[in-house]
Amino acid sequence: MYPGRAGQRLQGAPDSDSRGRTIQKVDGPVQLQICSMVVLLDFVILLVLLNSACSTVLGEKESPIVNLTLDSRKKILSWNSRRIVTQQTCAIVTPLDPDTSQEPQVRNDTYFCTFPNAVLHRGATLTVNATSEGQDFSHQLAFSNPGKEGSGAQDLSCIIYNVRLMNCSWTRGPAAPADVQYQLYSWTSLHGNVSECSHYVLDSAGMRVGCHFDELGEGHTTDDYFFLVNGTSSDSDIQFLDSPSVNGPSLEKYNPPANLTVQDNVSHFVIRWDAPAMRYSLSNSCLVLTRFRLSATPWTVARQAPLSMGFSRQEHWSGLPFPSPGDSFQPRV
């Protein structure tokens, strides 16, 4: 108990609130010092914010390119932009193809570039360059083929024959595990439906080394075939094998022509034959290789000619003796 008169507050004694709790008073100089420190701290924070804002203005802006992704089946690189860009380009670099660059397309606020002829199984580096608010930005995406090196299928080859049939074959990867099994997928347009082979060809060990398609459907000269072979194994992941798009007519192998006839019109020969059934229509100027043999004379290339053409003797036997009456000759188309 402090000495003094009742109700008299001693100098320097702490105040109390209505509940008797002590309230510590702070002398004037100390309170001023604390306020000064608070003001100084606010000033430092303001400087930091201003410095960050200035740095952004001077060249440390965030890139407008976001969500950069690659659809490896469709070979489409896509991304979004979080602010206005004035110029954009995209490029792909692979070990097996020449470098390719193009300007992107845009759909529903998504930019994209398509590389249908790129071969990705050896890896690829994809780049997007953009200009925004006077600054240049560049983003790269490194794509690699997952799986054990050398485990993927090799030497993929396909042919179309008898109008609606197709055979594909491949060889086993040199580093493929003993239990590897390959699967072949194909589609006939960039956004077409993908179908897996339904009739695999097996080797003596039971490994898939080929595929037979027994119904290709209607053919169109605009058909672009895409092929992909991947694999499975309990030992390791298997690398995939892809190919560039292949135009349908270039895959077709024709049967020999039928009803080949030769007519001697004294001044020239007329050679005719029936063209084989074809999946893809060919123009009348399609060139075929025609060869002749006169008696014991070796086979000689006559010329490349349309499906029906007459040859004059002067043209055909240029540099060779004219056939004599009674000589035999054999045409081959």
Domain boundaries defined on the chain: 28-58, 65-143, 154-251, 258-332
d(CA 101, CA 179): 40
Residue 48 has pLDDT above 90, yes or no: no
pLDDT at 64 over 70: yes
The tens digit of pLDDT for each residue in 234-245 reads 999 999 999 988
CB burial of 202-233 (b: ≥16 within 10 Å; e: otherwise) equals eeeeebbbbbebeebeebeeebbbbbbbbbeb
**pLDDT, tens digit, 9 for 90 and up, residues 28-42:** 555 556 556 655 666
Between 311 and 332, the more confident residue is 332
Q: How confident is the model at residue 273 (pLDDT cuts 50, 70, 90)?
A: confident
What is the mean pLDDT of the segment spanning 253-274?
Answer: 78
Split at pLDDT 50, 70, 90, the class of 285 is: very low
65-143: which CATH topology?
Answer: Immunoglobulin-like (2.60.40)
CATH architecture of the domain covering 258-332: Sandwich (2.60)
Q: Is pLDDT above 90 for 161?
A: yes
Find which of 9-13, 56-60, 89-93, 133-137 is predicted with most confidence, using mean pLDDT. Answer: 89-93
- In this prediction, residues 102-123 reach a mean pLDDT of 94
- Report the mean per-residue pLDDT for the chain: 77
291 neighbors 332 (Cβ within 8 angstroms): yes
pLDDT band at 258 (very low <50, low <70, confident <90, very high): confident
For residue 26 the two structure tokens come to 């702070």
For residue 220, what pLDDT is reported? 84
Residue 32 phi, psi (nearest 5): -65, -40
pLDDT at 308 over 60: no
pLDDT tens profile 187-222: 988 778 899 999 999 999 999 999 999 888 888 888
pLDDT bucket at 5, cuts 50 / 70 / 90: very low
Question: What is the pLDDT, as a whole number, of residue 319?
Answer: 39
How high is the pLDDT of residue 290?
A: 52
Q: What are phi and psi of 26, to 5 degrees?
A: -110, 130
Measured between alpha carbons, how far is 123 from 205 in angstroms, rounded to an integer?
31
Q: Is the pLDDT at 160 greater than 90, yes or no?
A: yes
Query: What's the mean pLDDT in 167-196?
Result: 92
Q: Which of 159, 145, 163, 178 is nearest to 281 (CA)?
A: 163
Q: Given the structure tokens 């914010």, which residue do they identify?
A: 49
Q: How confident is the model at residue 255 (pLDDT cuts 50, 70, 90)?
A: confident
The yes-or-no answer to whether 65-143 and 258-332 have a common fold is yes
Whether 117 has a pLDDT exceeding 50, the answer reads yes
pLDDT of residue 148: 92
Strand order in the sheet with 110-114: 65-71, 76-81, 110-114, 105-107
pLDDT tens digit sequence for 86-109:
999 999 999 988 899 999 999 999
Q: Domain 154-251 is in which class?
A: mainly beta
Whether 55 contacts 129, CB under 8 Å:
no
Partners of residue 227 on adjacent β-strands: 186
CB 224 within 8 A of CB 248: yes
Single-letter amino acid code for the residue at 323: P
Compute the distance between CA of residue 153 and CA of residue 172 in angstroms, rounded to an integer.
5
DSSP per-residue letters across 108-166: TTEEEEE-TT---TT-EEEEEEEEETTEEEEEEEEE---SBTT-S-EEEEEEEETTTEE
Helix (H, G, I), strand (E, B) or coil at 302: strand
